[in-house]
Structure 1
Amino acid sequence: MKFTYEVEQDNIKIKTFLAQKGISKRLLAKIKFAGGLILVNGQEEIVTHMVNSGDTVEITIPSENPSEKLLAQKYPLDVIFEDEHFLVINKPARFASVTSSVHPNNTISNFVQDYLIRQNYENKKVHIVTRLDRDTSGLMMFAKHGFAHSHMDKMLQDRTIEKKYYALVESSDMLEKEGEIILPIDREEGSIIKRCVAESGKQAHTSYKLLEKKDDTSLLDIKLHTGRTHQIRVHFSHLGAPLLGDDLYGGSINKIQRQALHCHSLEFIHPFTNEKIKLEANLPEDMRNLINE
């Protein structure tokens, strides 16, 4: 995969110039030692070569092979967006995002690995940008090469990727028409999974709007400003409004057998085209049926 840049300043080393373009030291080492190439005005150069305004720098990033540890498994993906840099799918509930000792296969990563191989893309390594809990549905982003992944990691750190969720929660007097929840979250003592609101935790910020209320169920539109583990589930449970189906945090499982949480919106500035990308995924049937019944 090739990328071309025009230099706009004098007396700058190639490695410094490329760092300004988002090329990490790790990726630069891969270009140098794993079959990549750096050209300046058509001539191969080393990373310490000085470039000047008007020079053209072209980099070739070596292709990435699929991981030998990740089994490719066929499953029909609901592709919402795709270009040469990114893949965004609408993840169904009940599938883990990544493999683990508990879920060694049949994960979204296995399915995307198969998709990349069958499409015969130049890069076949799976790069997860945003992941979702096993029982959460909705938009999930993958980068199609390491350079795209590093760009999106930086955007996640800078909080310039906007994610919004629909959630069905148990109605609570503590819920307002719209509000902000700014409460720290830490791991619950004695548990390796469960989180809780605790002063010892990391700051977490969630905002929400009440879209609809029906009997003892409320439909919320939620925006994450931070990305703590189980953040939405913990914050609303703390308000006495646990997600339906979320038995880990006190939600009733009488109406739905998974936490009623769906990532419906993903918005970001495309790092390679500078376009504003806004993607949507409709409320899934199991959650829609609950609010319509």
Structure 2
Amino acid sequence: MRQNKKYPSKRQEKSLTYKVEDPTELLPFLLKVMANRSRNSVKSILSRGQVTVNNHIETKYNYRLQPGQTVTILKNKAAVKESTFIGMSILYEDGDIIVVKKDAGLLSIATKKEKKKTVYHQLMDYVRRENSQRRIYVVHRLDKETSGVMMFAKNEQVKQALQHAWKENVKERTYVALVEGKLTKDKGTIASRLKESRTHLMYSSGIKNDGLHAITHYHVIQSNKNFSLLEVRLETGRKNQIRVHMQDLGHPVVGDKKYGATGNPIGRLGLHAKVLAFEHPTTGELLRFEADVPKNFFDKVK
């Protein structure tokens, strides 16, 4: 096996970055590049969410690595606690709101199984460093495997103001979706009524006025015979809306086995929240935030 090359990180004092040269699983790869650490130590680093693959947090020991991928290891937990977020970064902050860029693989909020490796928990720790009484409030969410821009409020009043007038305040909410197959139309609109099954699967109901009205607009950015890269604009914001509508279109989101995808060639869900533009709840100023589309989305449609 060829030697894995180490590349200098942007934050060299806090992380180590390696380029994958040969197909392997994540744990054996980490054990090799961190040969000075015990197996249990390496497992702990992995389970704490301190390892990313192509900027996607990965905690599975048997995650399949492919040549060309980049694996980054945050060096120590103390440094992370002091000055580094795991799987996210702050794009904007003032007295009322915090806007962040979230990586795929990081939960927005806690679940029954995971309480701490979330955007919410990290931001709560962050605001309480300055004042132990402070907290943050969830305004909207992104699925765990969706990357991109999201916003939190810093007080209850702002949260209520944003949620109660979400449709009026949000001026642009644009996603980029990598989907399976080549679309026949370069642009279009999908409208349906979405419902949730007993197994928590969203679907488009065929019954009139049954479920929540959902409208999704799309246009093709680039495509080949296997994949299409779409810009998707939401007119409504329903749970799993894009994922269901892409399945309805016959072109499920890459990696989305829950909604009909046949494979996962990029090792994550092919969905990215690219733009969020809204009127500030206090000042009324129009703010617009954008997160670059992951490079591997474009790589699949070359």
**Is 1:86 aligned to residue 97 of structure 2?**
yes
Q: What is the aligned partner in structure 2 of residue 107 from structure 1? A: 118
Conserved? CA contact 1:125–1:144, under 8 Å: yes
**Which blocks of at least 5 consecutive residues in structure 2 are unaligned?**
1-79
Q: 1:98 to 1:82 in 2, by over 3 A?
A: same
C-alpha distance in 2 between matches for 1:249 and 1:156: 27
Residue 267 (structure 1) aligned to one of 254, 277, 298: 277
Distance 1:286 1:229 in 2: 25
Per the TM alignment, residue 95 of structure 1 is displaced from its structure 2 partner at its CA by 1.2
1:203-218 → structure 2 map (5 Å cutoff): 203-218=213-228
Per-residue CA shift, 1:102-161, capped at 9, x if unaligned?
32221111111111122x158621211121001000001011112211211122154635
* 2:257 corresponds to 1:247: yes
2 CA distance for matches of 1:202 and 1:140? 23
Contact 1:159–1:225 (CA<8 Å) still a contact in 2? no
Shift of 1:280: 0.6
CA offsets, 1:209-239, max 9 Å, x none? Answer: 1111122111111111111111000001011
In structure 1, give the amino acid aligned to 2:267: Q
| 1:194 and 2:201 correspond | yes
**Root-mean-square deviation (CA), in Å?**
2.0
Give the distance between the partners of 1:78 and 1:117, measured in 2 at CA: 17
Q: What is the CA–CA distance in structure 2 between the aligned matches of 1:179 and 1:242, rounded to whole Å?
A: 15
Normalised TM-score (structure 1): 0.69
Match of 2:128 in 1: 117
The residue number in structure 2 matching 1:185 is: 194
Give me the whole-angstrom Cα distance separating, in 2, the residues matched to 1:279 and 1:141: 10
Q: Figure out how many residues of one structure are paired with residues of the other and give that number.
A: 216
- Of all paired residues, the percent bearing the same amino acid is 31
- Which structure has the bigger radius of gyration? 1
Aligned partners of 2:133 and 2:189: how far apart in 1?
41
User: Once the two structures are superposed, what CA deviation does each residue of 1:217-272 show, in whole Å capped at 9, x if it has no partner?
Assistant: 11111111111111000001011010000011111334123210000100111122
User: Partner of 1:29 in structure 2?
Assistant: none
Question: For residues 58-97 of structure 1, what are the structure 2 equivalents within 5 Å?
Answer: 74=81, 75-76=84-85, 77-97=88-108
Matched position secondary structure for 2:170: coil
What corresponds to 1:176 in structure 2?
185
> Structure 1 regions of 5+ residues with no counterpart?
1-72
TM superposition shift of 1:90: 0.5
Q: 1:213–1:286: structure 2 CA closer, same or farther, 3 Å change rule? A: closer
CA spacing shift, 1:130–1:269, aligned 2, 3 Å: same
Paired with 1:128 and 1:291, the residues of 2 have a C-alpha distance of 35
Residue 284 of structure 1, CA deviation: 2.0
Instruction: Tell me the SS of whatever aligns to 1:291.
Output: coil
Cα deviations by residue, 1:57-103 (Å, 9 ceiling, x for unpaired): xxxxxxxxxxxxxxxx9452411111111111100111111112132
The answer to whether the 8 Å contact 1:159/1:226 transfers is no
CA contact (8 A) 2:116 2:122 kept: no
Give the Cα separation in 1 of the matches to 2:131 and 2:236. 33
Cα contact 2:190–2:217 (8 A) shared by 1: yes
